[in-house]
């Protein structure tokens, strides 16, 4: 039985257990309401979960919309409805969210419920178009209004505050890790690469398809979802390169249990990001890398994002700057010194272990309620 440090929390989450925040607060909160919001293409998979003293007592599906405007309208309506339904005026509740939409009408919300807001900012979007410029301005406005704000990297911390702040109310808090006890067979002759997460054009998959064409001793498993258009494009490239037997790509959502099972057949996690400041990954702590670490997979990744220095510090993976020249050598190095990188993973996972990492970060909430 876990000790309950917190009284009432309303937590934003997603279907993937990135960072294990839901697991942590489930363990340690008297009453926890989890608002699971998913991308528009998964408009009918959103959930509301109610935990009492660590036990899931209710779970309901709610539907948003494929239309971008109605998607956010229905998001906000459901947020308000669930907030008022699950918490009374007498209860003090901390709302931990990742999107400024829940701050709209903040003063009125606080009049009707005893609310304390914590903005856990997980993304910074570079100003490549007007909508993103306005979005970041809205975020910065509310960042100065909420009592507490966390950031998933120092660079985001600086973007929001004009300098890096480390206080009880403003600080960098990255994703935590819950390591899985996975026994993995290592076969130098058949090396399988794992890619996990939402699939976008900027994540280097086409480069991997070209790499596999000339490296028949490697295979790739892609566990994630992309648009129908992108799936057709990638399927055509896979067929053209004649690597159908080397690539597993069903284009669907995988549960944590499925992900864990499939990962047992893989030896390394891949994260080939766009390394320029025009990419959102440049600024944050990508959940993909923490997922690989939790699964016990050494990591090969682009030398970008807030987590890259930690991968290098603990020796749990290899950073590459030029994927055209360095990927093959990195994978070969991984094969030759696999045990060394597994040892580095143990140190990395100990540092980011979600129980101790979040307990320290959220200690100020223990007296709330």
| Pairing label, strands 191-196, 218-223 | parallel
Please report how the helices 205-213 and 228-240 are oriented relative to each other, as an axis angle in degrees rounded to 10: 20
**Token pair recorded at residue 43:** 């408009």
HSE, side-chain direction, 13 A CA sphere, residue 201: 6
Report whether pLDDT(190) > 80.
Answer: no
Q: What is the mean pLDDT of residues 120-140?
A: 91
Q: What percent of the chain has pLDDT over 90?
A: 76
Collect all residues with Cβ–Cβ distance below 8 Å to 203 and sequence separation of at least 6. Answer: 195, 197, 271, 272, 273, 274
Report whether pLDDT(311) > 90.
Answer: yes
Q: CATH number for the 6-178 domain, one of 3.40.50.2000, 2.120.10.90, 3.90.870.40, 3.40.50.2300?
A: 3.40.50.2000
**Domains of the chain: which residue ranges?**
6-178, 191-351
Collect all residues with Cβ–Cβ distance below 8 Å to 288 and sequence separation of at least 6. Answer: 196, 197, 269, 271
pLDDT of residue 16: 64
Alpha-carbon torsion, ordered 246, 252, 277, 156, to 10 deg: -130
pLDDT of residue 116: 95
Distance CA 195, CA 177 (A): 18
Using alpha carbons, select from 136, 80, 150 the residue that is nearest to residue 108: 80
- Please give the mean pLDDT across all residues of the chain: 92
Domain 191-351 falls in which CATH fold?
Rossmann fold (3.40.50)
User: Token pair 């058949």 is at which residue?
Assistant: 190
Using alpha carbons, select from 98, 140, 88 the residue that is nearest to residue 118: 98
Burial of 214 per CB tally in 10 Å (0-12, 13-18, 19+): exposed
pLDDT band with cut points at 50, 70 and 90 for residue 367: low
pLDDT band with cut points at 50, 70 and 90 for residue 368: low
Give the helix, strand, coil percentages of the chain, each rounded to 5: 40, 20, 35
In this chain, the answer to whether the domains covering 6-178 and 191-351 adopt an identical fold is yes
């Amino acid at each position: 039985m876990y000790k309950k440090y917190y009284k009432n929390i309303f937590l934003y989450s997603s279907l993937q257990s990135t960072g294990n925040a839901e697991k942590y607060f489930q363990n340690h909160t008297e009453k926890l309401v989890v608002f699971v919001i998913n991308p528009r293409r998964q408009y009918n998979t959103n959930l509301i979960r109610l935990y009492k003293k660590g036990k899931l007592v209710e779970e309901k599906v709610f539907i948003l919309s494929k239309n971008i405007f109605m998607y956010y309208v229905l998001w906000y309506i459901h947020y308000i409805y669930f907030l008022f339904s699950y918490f009374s005026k007498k209860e003090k509740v901390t709302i931990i969210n990742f999107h400024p939409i829940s701050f709209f009408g903040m003063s009125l919300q606080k009049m009707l419920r005893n609310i304390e807001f914590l903005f856990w900012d997980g993304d910074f979007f570079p100003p490549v178009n007007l909508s993103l410029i306005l979005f970041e301005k809205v975020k910065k406005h509310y960042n100065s209004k909420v009592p507490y704000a966390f950031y998933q990297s120092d660079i985001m911390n600086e973007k929001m505050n004009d300098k890096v702040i480390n206080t009880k109310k403003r600080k960098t808090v990255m994703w935590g890790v819950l390591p899985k006890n996975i026994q993995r067979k290592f076969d130098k002759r058949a090396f399988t690469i794992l890619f996990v997460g939402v699939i976008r054009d900027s994540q280097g998959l086409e480069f991997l398809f070209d790499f596999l064409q000339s490296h028949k001793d490697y295979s790739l498993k892609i566990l994630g979802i992309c648009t129908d258009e992108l799936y057709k494009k990638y399927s055509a490239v896979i067929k053209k390169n004649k690597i159908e037997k080397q690539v597993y790509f069903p284009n669907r959502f995988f549960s944590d249990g499925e992900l864990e099972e499939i990962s047992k057949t893989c030896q390394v996690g891949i994260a080939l990001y766009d390394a320029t400041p025009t990419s959102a990954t440049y600024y944050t702590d990508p959940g993909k890398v923490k997922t690989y670490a939790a699964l016990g997979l050494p990591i090969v990744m682009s030398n970008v994002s807030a987590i890259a220095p930690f991968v290098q510090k603990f020796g749990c993976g290899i950073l590459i700057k030029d994927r055209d020249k360095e990927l093959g050598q990195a994978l070969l190095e991984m094969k030759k010194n696999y045990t060394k990188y597994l040892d580095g993973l143990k140190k990395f996972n100990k540092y980011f272990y979600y129980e101790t990492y979040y307990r320290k970060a959220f200690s100020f909430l223990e007296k709330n309620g």
